[in-house]
Structure 1
């Protein structure tokens, strides 16, 4: 028939179409609802995710036995270190972002929405990622809520010295809570050379200091 196509050509067209559909689905970056943020704030948020997604595993810069002994990333997240996968992990837990007063905190999570305070937008890109990662953990249930830090808690908040954790709900009682997972992430950055080992160790120790064990 004049208007018909050979069967092989028809299958070829269908195959190309299917590939294009799959490409569109899997190559599209998924971001949560940002309608409550202004243009500059949205730009900062997306730059944070772009930075995170650029962090992919390469050759380990530390002793392999040390890495195997101390790395907690895969046991927590159930996938090997990958900025792209971690970005999707965060975005699967945070549905909306808004801006407003957060009191003594840089950000706050409630019912799938993260309220970002003014201080968030003054942070460097790594610290912004740490905040987002931390807040996303709260989506996993009450087991990952904070406990009150001891009154004699003397560690500084590395992202804002004006925030004093002592006597406030700013610590964790579980090793894989908001601070435990940011510590695990920082360890990977040091192990893969994205941070020098001195900075990685200081940052790691700061996060893990918030895990209070009985």
Structure 2
């Protein structure tokens, strides 16, 4: 038939489709373009996502009523807590990583590209994930841009004390912006026992303090 394709081509397309489906179902992370990172930096980035993908729900370690009252994860992300799904959520928004000067910031987002500063690669793996999660939120539009923190804002930046948010665009005025979603993630880590409750509470409070409410 004139419009039919050779049999071997049909088999090739079918095989390609099956490989793609199996690759997706296998849970292997699909990384964004890392061509502007060196080998060591790329390895650190991949290790960060590998760590994230180990974080899956298990037995809740806090009072169930407290969990139900405070959890925000599913209402924000539209899926239950899952490191694998969160990894895909981040990577669907960040298209490219590069390395360079970020001034007073650890990382910067612009049009699908995240510029990682030197300080990023000195962070522990959890803090690296928090930075990536935060930056990925900026891909969702101008509603998730930052607002100026109050001049009397006295909270420390837990990842770098040299960064002083007061009077700078380092806060949010929506509950599900970059800081709100990292707080929601940290709450789940404490609830499921990946962090002890003291550390989880300190980290959660630090993130949520950047959400300025009228």
TM-score w.r.t. the length of structure 2 is: 0.90
Write the mapping of 1:54-203 to structure 2, written as runs, cut at 5 A.
54-203=54-203
Q: Please state how far the C-alpha of 1:22 moved relative to its aligned partner.
A: 2.9
State the Cα deviation string for residues 21-73 of structure 1 (Å, max 9, x = none).
Answer: 53234324200000000000000000000000000000000000000000000
Q: Distance in 1 between matches of 2:113 and 2:56?
A: 27
Q: Distance in 2 between matches of 1:213 and 1:17?
A: 51
- Unpaired runs of at least 5, structure 2: 1-13
- What is the number of equivalent residue pairs in this alignment? 200
- Unpaired runs of at least 5, structure 1: 1-14
Work out which of the two has the higher radius of gyration on C-alpha atoms and give 1 or 2.
Answer: 1
Q: Distance in 1 between matches of 2:91 and 2:79?
A: 16
Q: Distance in 1 between matches of 2:19 and 2:205?
A: 46
Q: Please state how far the C-alpha of 1:135 moved relative to its aligned partner.
A: 0.1
Q: Please state how far the C-alpha of 1:76 moved relative to its aligned partner.
A: 0.2
State the Cα deviation string for residues 69-96 of structure 1 (Å, max 9, x = none).
Answer: 0000000000000000000000000000
Q: Distance in 2 between matches of 1:16 and 1:119?
A: 44
Cα distance change of structure 1 residues 18 and 154 upon mapping to structure 2, 3 Å threshold: closer
State the match for 2:6 in structure 1.
none
Q: Distance in 2 between matches of 1:22 and 1:73?
A: 27
Root-mean-square deviation over aligned CA pairs: 1.5
CA contact (8 A) 2:173 2:211 kept: yes
